[in-house]
Structure 1
Amino acid sequence: MQLNVGCQILFESHDQTPVILMLRPRSGSGQWIMREEYQLSPHVPVVEYADGYGNLCQRITIPQGAFQVRTSAVVDAPDKIDVEPNAHFVPVPELPDSVLQFILPSRYCEADRLGDLALEIAGNANPGYEQVEAIRQWIQQNIEYAYGTSNASTSAVETADRRVGVCRDFTHLGIALCRSLNIPTRMVVGYLYELKPMDLHAWFEAYVGDRWYTFDATQEQPRGNRVTIAYGRDAADVALVTQFAAMDLVEMQVWVTPAG
């Protein structure tokens, strides 16, 4: 499906504030950017670069006062995600070099502390895709989705203990559990068509059967029509806005609609 996606964010800055934005989707596996607009008001100089994961980042300095960012794109995205229960576990010696970093513990995904829980959940499943799907299903069925129950510092271990969170927390827990089984897993942020309530979204991808597969623990069934903005080890790598001085988020709107 061709999708109109975008967001509009209004900030109030107390002083000149250096900021890194990560709001531009890029063409790649599973999506094609057909048209794009990126508006800053008031306009300021922009320096763009690609980070270590290939994400497009924009460096700006926000002036004091009100500042608005509006991004929009028309994206051709697949209606379905690939599902392959027979995708096998890839032994660590056979993993590509670029994938190895995604089996290590990271700031919000303490894989070294969740091995027992991962075995309890997926120990009887066939190694590979079936284990990841068992973990995804367990999170979807056992973790309550509720706003205001976590914050920017909440980690996978805390979510496993509290059994409540939002998409970011569901994703961190899924990543940590999969990595504890030596399955490379990475975080994805972006847009999901017909997400309720509409917002920017997070899910994870696991490397099994020699490729990445999509898993979303917030959804009961596999769903396509996703637009990826960024990949990383966890939320520390995929922050859509990183500020280096005091600044308030006043308002944010997100939309995903059929194009045309």
Structure 2
Amino acid sequence: MWMRATCLLEFNNLVATPFIFMLRPRSGWQQWIGREQYLLTPSVSAIEFTDPFGNLCQRLMAPAGPFTVNTSFDVDVAEASDSAPGAQFVEVQRLPEETLPFLLPSRFCESDRCTQLAASIVAGCSPGYDQCSAIVDYIRRTIAYTPGSGQQIISACEVNERSEAVCRDLAHLGIACCRALSIPARMVVGYLENLQPMDLHAWFEAFVGGRWYTFDPTQDDGRGGRIAVAYGRDAADVAIYTQFGDPVELLNMNVTVERIAAPAC
């Protein structure tokens, strides 16, 4: 199916400020970008580069005063996330090299401190996909998904001590537990159809059965189209914008996601 996603960011810069944005999705086996629009107001020159995880990043100097970024994308995606109960664990020595960084502890996913927790959660599960599903079920049972409840980024171990959290933090806990079991796991930031309230969203993917699968502790099923924008080890790698220097005021952020008709041939 085809989806249209938009994101509007409005800033007020006290002084000229360097930014790095991560707002452009890229085509891949899970999605195809049919149309995109990326407007900067006032218009400034931008340099695009690809980070170590393959994300498209835009580097620019925003002038003092009001500054707006307005993006829009038409993307062909699946109507639901794939699932594969029983998909097998891939032994570390057989993993593709590009998955290896997602086995290691990272700033917000301290998997080396989650070994006992992960083992207790997956006791009796077949290694691989079923373990990931058990981790997601545990997160849903023990921590309430509460949008807007956490402005400060917290680590997986801190999340596990709380009764509520945002999507980003729940993904951190899932990632840390998967890595503690030697399952590569990575954070994804993007758009999700029918998300309430509508915003940019975070979930995680785990590498089992020879490919990446989507896991989302905030959703009861895999329905709803997803547009992935950025991948990384944790939230530190996938910020939609990074600003340097004096703090900048974000005046407004507005996200929309809707189904659209397929483009005419």
TM-score (norm 2): 0.96
State the identity %: 52
Q: Distance in 1 between matches of 2:87 and 2:233?
A: 22
Gapped regions of structure 2 (runs ≥ 5) = none
Per the alignment, residue 101 of structure 1 pairs with 101
The alignment status of 1:216 with 2:220, answered yes or no, reads no
Greater mean alpha carbon deviation, residues 147-156 or residues 216-225: 147-156
Q: Distance in 1 between matches of 2:164 and 2:155?
A: 12
**Cα gap change, 1:148/1:259 in structure 2, threshold over 3 Å: closer, same or farther?**
closer
CA shift digits 1:210-229 (9 cap, x unpaired): 11000000001122410000
Gapped regions of structure 1 (runs ≥ 5) = none
**Cα gap change, 1:153/1:194 in structure 2, threshold over 3 Å: closer, same or farther?**
closer
Deviation of the 1:153 alpha carbon: 3.3
Per the alignment, residue 9 of structure 2 pairs with 9
- Contact 2:147 2:167 (8 Å CA) reproduced: no
Q: Secondary structure at the match of 1:162?
A: coil
Q: How does 1:64-75 map to 2 (within 5 A)?
A: 64-75=64-75
Per the alignment, residue 35 of structure 1 pairs with 35
Q: Distance in 1 between matches of 2:111 and 2:163?
A: 17
Per the alignment, residue 158 of structure 2 pairs with 158
Deviation of the 1:115 alpha carbon: 1.1
Q: Distance in 1 between matches of 2:175 and 2:163?
A: 16
Deviation of the 1:148 alpha carbon: 4.5
Q: Secondary structure at the match of 1:48?
A: strand
Q: How does 1:10-25 map to 2 (within 5 A)?
A: 10-25=10-25
Q: How does 1:87-236 map to 2 (within 5 A)?
A: 87-236=87-236
CA shift digits 1:165-184 (9 cap, x unpaired): 10000100000011011100
Deviation of the 1:99 alpha carbon: 0.7
Once superposed, which parts of structure 1, at least 4 consecutive aligned residues long, lie more than 4 Å away? none
Deviation of the 1:6 alpha carbon: 1.1
Calculate the aligned-residue CA RMSD, in Å: 1.0
CA shift digits 1:104-134 (9 cap, x unpaired): 0000001011111111111211000000000
The letter of the residue matching 1:180 is: A
Q: Distance in 2 between matches of 1:214 and 1:14?
A: 40
Per the alignment, residue 255 of structure 2 pairs with 254
Equivalenced residue count is: 260
TM-score (norm 1): 0.98
Q: Distance in 2 between matches of 1:199 and 1:147?
A: 9
Deviation of the 1:258 alpha carbon: 1.2
The letter of the residue matching 1:63 is: P
Q: Distance in 2 between matches of 1:172 and 1:57?
A: 22
CA shift digits 1:128-175 (9 cap, x unpaired): 000000001111121112244433331111000113210000100000
Deviation of the 1:97 alpha carbon: 1.1
